[in-house]
């Protein structure tokens, strides 16, 4: 190999392995070494599965030597967000509550990738139970932005985005409840794709907001995200929300779009408070798309100004229900101070959950309580329906909606203390979750401090393939995905 392995895409590395240019054990060793060198200052991984990765690599090498068919991800190093189960490995969800919890089964997405001969390197950092926008809510340590380690990588999939941004892995999984794939992907200068709700199985994902959660890939290129979706975008009978549809072809159709036939909608009124530097980057991105022949029109998505309020009613209500299972009885930590059954419940949760998780559980319990369910929860569900209808009207006039991935580039660690200001980091990503739409963030340039921006494409339900095509066309016209954070360019 003449090119450094971390400078390759997942597709390029897979091809090099299949052609016999490199062994899988050498690939695993190379990336494990990068993790050993760089993770202490990056905090991207909570656990490193070196032995597992090397055993898998040896098995894949043996398959190749015997001339057996190789999987779509043969030789590709991947990282798994630590709220997804890997059989017999620890799943912490970034929480002290589950620091010793060993998964009894594989998440469907993990199983599908291992079936395709992927090399799992480890579990990545996240905000506790995926609740956060900066990865500062991890119970263990924060992850850092590879473009400047004094800044946040975004959240909640901050560890996965940081790992890809620093090229400690070439493919990672994330989960997206309100933007937790796209926002950190945007802040770390990588690609993050949230599929249509139900396109990827949630079986084996520790639930936060069940009507919002979706697993998706974080990668260095759109083509790599397309490859990942061809592997994990399959119906799963163990997930009642999994769409009973056949797999789609992403890679073969990436270049099939004539951009001169595409119309993008921009909700300018919704973006009226966008900061000047972010607005300039967004406008430049629109100019790129116009240069490709696309038409840009103004659309009305003003209802989305209520997205944060709706989300923090619905998501917290679902979280309070989902997290009720963590009671110190069935699994997870049990308080050593407990003397009665009530003590076990109360003290285990008091000692096990972090401040942000407690805040959301309390809020969710409140909005579901007697006397308040109609005023808050049911009303939020009605406004969610209005958001869905607003997008449907927009798609009568355009093929996809364009938004920034976040209101700004990454911010310094521990610099936001107002919870509302932190929640507003997801203002442009939450609408796609409320409506169950496919959306992707693609790198779109850098600010004056060298921190990345992300551009977001949001398509109608089940238009995952076209959304990927639009993002790929933009990527090919800009090539921002070729850039690697300077501190991590060398092995």
Establish if 289 belongs to a structural domain: no
Residue 62 half-sphere exposure toward CB, CA atoms < 13 A? 6
409, 152 Cβ separation under 8 angstroms: no
> 234-246 burial string, b = 16+ CB within 10 Å, else e?
bebeebeebbeee
Establish if 22 belongs to a structural domain: yes
Q: Which of 47, 133, 180, 390 is catalytic?
A: 180
Note down the domain range covering 21: 11-262+397-488
**Is 81 known to be catalytic?**
yes
Establish if 343 belongs to a structural domain: no
> 249-273 burial string, b = 16+ CB within 10 Å, else e?
ebbeebeebebeebebbbbeebbee
Pairing of strands 215-219, 452-458: unpaired
Establish if 391 belongs to a structural domain: no
Q: Which of 81, 123, 201, 320 is catalytic?
A: 81
**Is 156 known to be catalytic?**
yes
Q: Please report the pLDDT score of residue 347 as a whole number.
A: 85
**Is 348 known to be catalytic?**
no
The CATH number given to whatever domain includes residue 147 is 3.90.1300.10
Establish if 278 belongs to a structural domain: no
Q: Please report the pLDDT score of residue 1 as a whole number.
A: 57
Nearest to 443 by CA among 105, 165, 55, 44: 165
Q: What are phi and psi of 39, to 5 degrees?
A: -65, -35
What are the DSSP calls for 83-104, one per residue? Answer: TB--TTSB--TT-GGGTT-B-S
* pLDDT-flagged residues of the chain (< 70): 1-2
Establish if 109 belongs to a structural domain: yes
Q: Which of 133, 156, 285, 320 is catalytic?
A: 156
Establish if 361 belongs to a structural domain: no
269, 272, 278, 282 alpha-carbon torsion, rounded to 10°: 20
Q: What are phi and psi of 341, to 5 degrees?
A: -65, -40
> 328-362 burial string, b = 16+ CB within 10 Å, else e?
beeebbbbeebeeeeebbebbbebbbbebbeebbe
391, 301 Cβ separation under 8 angstroms: yes
Domain count, the chain: 1
Q: Please report the pLDDT score of residue 51 as a whole number.
A: 98
Establish if 354 belongs to a structural domain: no
């Amino acid at each position: 190999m003449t090119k450094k392995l971390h400078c390759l895409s997942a597709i390029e590395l897979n091809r090099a392995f299949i052609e016999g240019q490199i062994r899988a054990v050498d690939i695993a060793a190379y990336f494990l070494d990068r993790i050993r060198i760089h993770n202490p200052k990056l905090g991207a991984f909570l656990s490193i599965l070196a032995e597992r990765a090397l055993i898998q690599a040896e098995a894949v090498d043996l398959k190749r030597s015997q001339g057996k068919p190789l999987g779509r991800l043969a030789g590709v190093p991947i990282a798994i967000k630590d709220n997804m189960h890997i059989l017999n490995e620890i799943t912490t969800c970034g929480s002290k509550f589950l620091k010793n919890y060993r998964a009894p089964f594989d998440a469907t997405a993990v199983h599908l990738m291992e079936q395709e001969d992927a090399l799992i390197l480890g579990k990545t950092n996240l905000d506790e139970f995926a609740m956060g926008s900066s990865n500062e809510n991890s119970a263990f340590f924060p992850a850092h932005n590879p473009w400047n380690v004094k800044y946040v990588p975004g959240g909640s999939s901050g560890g996965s985005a940081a790992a890809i941004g620093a090229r400690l892995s070439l493919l990672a999984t994330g989960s997206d409840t309100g933007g937790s794939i796209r926002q950190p992907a945007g802040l770390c200068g990588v690609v993050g794709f949230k599929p249509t709700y139900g396109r990827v199985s949630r079986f084996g994902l520790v639930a936060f907001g069940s009507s919002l959660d979706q697993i998706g890939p974080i990668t260095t290129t759109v083509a790599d995200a397309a490859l990942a979706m061809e592997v994990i975008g399959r119906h799963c009978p163990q997930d009642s929300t999994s769409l009973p549809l056949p797999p789609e072809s992403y890679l073969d159709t990436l270049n099939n779009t004539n951009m001169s036939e595409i119309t993008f909608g921009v909700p300018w009124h919704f973006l009226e408070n966008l900061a000047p530097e972010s607005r300039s980057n967004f406008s430049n991105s629109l100019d790129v798309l116009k240069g490709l022949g696309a038409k840009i029109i103004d659309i009305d998505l003003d209802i989305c100004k209520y997205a944060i309020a709706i989300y923090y009613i619905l998501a917290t209500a679902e979280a309070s229900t989902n997290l009720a299972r963590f009671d110190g009885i069935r699994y997870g930590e049990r308080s050593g101070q407990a003397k009665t059954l009530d003590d076990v419940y109360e003290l285990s949760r008091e000692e096990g959950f972090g401040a942000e998780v407690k805040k959301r559980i309390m809020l969710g319990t409140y909005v579901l309580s007697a006397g308040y369910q109609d005023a808050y929860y049911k009303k939020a569900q009605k406004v969610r329906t209005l958001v869905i209808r607003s997008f449907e009207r927009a798609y009568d006039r355009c093929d996809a909606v364009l938004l920034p991935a976040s209101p700004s580039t990454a911010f310094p660690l521990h610099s936001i203390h107002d919870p509302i200001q932190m929640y507003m980091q997801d203002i442009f990503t939450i609408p796609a979750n409320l409506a169950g739409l496919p959306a992707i963030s693609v790198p779109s340039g850098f600010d004056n401090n060298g921190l990345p921006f992300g551009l977001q494409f949001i398509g109608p339900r089940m238009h995952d393939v076209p959304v990927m095509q639009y993002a790929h066309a933009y990527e090919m016209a800009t090539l921002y995905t070729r850039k690697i954070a300077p501190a991590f360019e060398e092995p």
